[in-house]
Chain A
């Protein structure tokens, strides 16, 4: 049986990382959650290069992506992946504070699968993360992704 696809969380803020991980724990997700601290690292991870050369895990089941990050921001990562024929099938979910219309439009134009605004309230945040995890990791089907 192939190993379970991981969930890639691309987030630069450690607090947000901690909150998200805590929420994921509550739903006892089996998938491993990998972290990339910025867009560059996310791309390295996806392409198995740089610090992530030699990664053997399959392509992520879902990439949870923040918008505003140093170096390479969320939209650039989105664009890179969605424009790569090999990788475009990977579900990508924008997970961000911004409700700006322009960000929404830009993301959807690039082919984002979902766009979720991080709720400010704690309960809501945890609930949202849970829902995301359950849906994308467990419920959602994607075409079989070959080992890259």
Chain B
């Protein structure tokens, strides 16, 4: 598991280094590109300047040739018309040879055009020749010494005080013409179509000629990025188009440095000063102190140049960045999951281990120390058999073999000896990894559970014992009752029987006392019989199985009254029977209850002149039980002794007053209590008694130990 983390780490590192390298590469690349561009721009500007210089030189040369040619010289010397004509021809050839010469002229000393050849060798006839005395170029050239040349400012041609349209940039080269006597006899002029200069840029800058810029010494564009910026000093509507105004800071530089290169407006501006006055072999009088010839890389071009590489770098950077981040994320999450796994292994309360197929511990988590008390080192590289209970060794070996074949262990239990010598029950789950020849296992200390299991087993057995002895006791009680039932009755019967025989035998010969004695014996025996019967039935009923059914109490009471023969005992009895709700109870037991209660009520009220028995019942929702009562208006009882009322064989009246054994109410209480109900009574001496009992809506579970000991 460590390996993949290392790979991720190295991968991430490589990516990172790669990114840095790419970044550096880009930076260097861009630098190189810029450097190369700058250099190229400089050489372009140099080329443009060279080109312009060449043109100026050419014109100057031509002018000199023109001024010095024999034909003109002849004319100047002797004024022959033939010479003039020859000069004119020469000029015409000249003009034809150089289509960029707008005019080739010779003006005399007074400014009259003597020879004028318009562009393309068109001789201007004499009647169209003009006087150019007032023109600045004439005035300027006129005063020049021999060999000196005047170059006008590069500006737009004007005719009749208006700028010629279409715009015609013009340069005038003028030179005084001297005759053999060194007399100045006028000037020679070549009007150069300055466009030619700009056109020449194409040859030198080829594709990049569009970058060519020319400024004059006042900062006005002669060639600008857009034509609308040019000739601001000549066209009033473009008067503001001067770099001096639009880019003063740059202009300062341009003015100051003869050559330079600056980043301007997002592009690159490379310039070189061109000094017309330096173009000649001889002295030159130039209107333009200097021109600034430049190459401008516009912002768009600049971006266009660098954007591809920037874009590719950005793409690469993004890709690298994403890869980087992914790598980083993988690495971190791997580390995190690694940490989690480690922690899981370390923190786990279960005993985790790895062993080889020979059963030797290869890796253990700290839980082993906590549970068994050995340090991990004490157990590492020891066979598991060193720690296993001898009785479990065989089984464990078998289990390890089974694991080695590829089966799983799900809940294998064995005992491990702790450092203190005690044994812990461990429950195992394990899986083998055959390729590694390793078993990965987890164990849980189930010693507590095992002990609990053993305890439960013991308790169960004890419970069984108890149940058996209880059942035995129950059986004994059964046979006891049986014995009592049978064996005690026989002597009673004999007593009664023989007293009876005695009575018959003695016949009338018995005196009253004798009779009384015999009757006493008889009734005592009868009483004993009743006691035995009552006791037996009470005991039987206490053990009897409760079988719950829906009990119709009204029907039960009907039965009781019917079989009770109460009409004989109490013919005038007033039965007040209210409706009774049905309940769930044991029918025969409840019959006993009603029989006992009604018996009592009848018995204790038979002396009343108007005996009345009231029986009723209602459901009490709050306590979830049904409450019944039997009320009589008989002799009642003293509430002082109410506690004794339900006692076994307890009586509140003597046998002389009322017969009975005193078991009736005790039985009632026993039955009702077994159903989960309550019994209580109230009475008033001479007014009667009311016995209440309740039956819960859901009676006590008949299978609970209290109610049933025999399987029924």
Contact = CB atoms under 8 A, between A and B. Distances in A.
Q: Do A and B bind?
A: yes
Interface of A: 13, 15-16, 18-19, 22, 67-68, 96-100, 102, 118-123, 125-126
A120 B529 contact: yes
Nearest to A123: B500
B305 interface: no
Contact of A97 (B489, B499, B526): B489
Contacts of B522: 121-122
B82 interface: no
A96 B487 CA distance: 10
A125 B494 CA distance: 10
Interface residues of B, number: 21
* Pairs A-B, 6 closest by C-beta atoms: A122-B500, A120-B529, A19-B497, A97-B489, A15-B494, A122-B496
Give the interface centre of A16, A18, A102, A122 by most chain B CB atoms within 10 Å. Answer: A122
Nearest to A102: B482
B502 to A, nearest CB: 9
10 contacts: A18-B501, A19-B501, A68-B486, A97-B489, A98-B485, A99-B485, A100-B482, A118-B489, A122-B496, A122-B500
B498 interface: yes
A120 B486 contact: no
Interface string B284-322: 000000000000000000000000000000000000000
A71 B482 CA distance: 19
Give the interface centre of A97, A118, A125, A126 by most chain B CB atoms within 10 Å. Answer: A97
Contact of B501 (A22, A68, A97, A121): A22
B485 A120 contact: no
B482 A120 contact: no
Interface in B470-510: 481-482, 485-487, 489-490, 492-494, 496-501, 503
B486 A19 contact: no
A121 B499 CA distance: 10
A120 B500 contact: no
Contacts of A15: 490, 494, 497-498
A125 B504 CA distance: 14
Contacts of A96: 486
A68 B494 CA distance: 16
A119 B497 CA distance: 9
Contacts of A122: 496-501, 503, 522
A68 B483 CA distance: 10
B709 interface: no
B110 interface: no
Contact of A120 (B487, B501, B503, B525): B525
A15 B498 CA distance: 8
Interface in B498-556: 498-501, 503, 522, 525-526, 529
A97 B526 CA distance: 14
A67 B486 contact: yes
B485 A97 contact: yes
Given A97-B486, A98-B485, A120 B496 contact: yes
A19 B491 CA distance: 12
A64 to B, nearest CB: 15
A97 B493 contact: yes
Interface string B116-127: 000000000000
A27 B633 CA distance: 47
A16 B501 contact: no
Contacts of A13: 490, 494
A25 B612 CA distance: 48
A134 B50 CA distance: 173
Contacts of B498: 15, 18-19, 122
Contacts of A97: 485-487, 489-490, 493
Contacts of A120: 489, 492-493, 496, 525-526, 529
Contacts of B487: 68, 97
B486 A98 contact: yes
A126 B493 contact: no
Contacts of B482: 98, 100, 102
A118 B498 CA distance: 14
Given A18-B501, A97-B490, A100-B486, 10 more contacts: A13-B494, A15-B497, A15-B498, A18-B498, A99-B485, A100-B482, A118-B490, A119-B493, A121-B526, A122-B498
B486 A125 contact: no
A100 to B, nearest CB: 6
Contacts of B490: 13, 15-16, 97, 118
Nearest to A67: B486
Give the interface centre of B490, B492, B526 by most chain A CB atoms within 10 Å. Answer: B490
Contacts of A99: 485
Contacts of A119: 493
A66 B522 CA distance: 24
A24 B526 CA distance: 23
Contacts of A22: 501
Contacts of B499: 122
A122 to B, nearest CB: 3
A97 B485 CA distance: 7
B416 to A, nearest CB: 59
Contacts of A98: 482, 485-486
A100 B494 contact: no
Contacts of B492: 120
A68 B529 CA distance: 19
B441 to A, nearest CB: 63
Nearest to A101: B540
B493 A118 contact: yes
A121 B528 CA distance: 11
A4 B272 CA distance: 175
Contacts of B501: 18-19, 22, 122
A125 B487 CA distance: 17
A120 B522 CA distance: 10
A105 to B, nearest CB: 13
B203 to A, nearest CB: 143
Contacts of B497: 15-16, 19, 122, 125-126
Nearest to A14: B494
B333 to A, nearest CB: 82
Given A15-B498, A120-B525, A120-B529, A125 B493 contact: yes
Give the interface centre of B486, B499, B526 by most chain A CB atoms within 10 Å. Answer: B486
Nearest to B522: A122
Contacts of B485: 97-100
A46 B233 CA distance: 171
A127 B379 CA distance: 96
Give the interface centre of B493, B498, B525 by most chain A CB atoms within 10 Å. Answer: B493
Contacts of A100: 481-482, 485-486
Give the interface centre of B487, B500, B501, B525 by most chain A CB atoms within 10 Å. Answer: B500
A102 B479 CA distance: 11
A15 B305 CA distance: 145
Nearest to A117: B489
A131 to B, nearest CB: 16
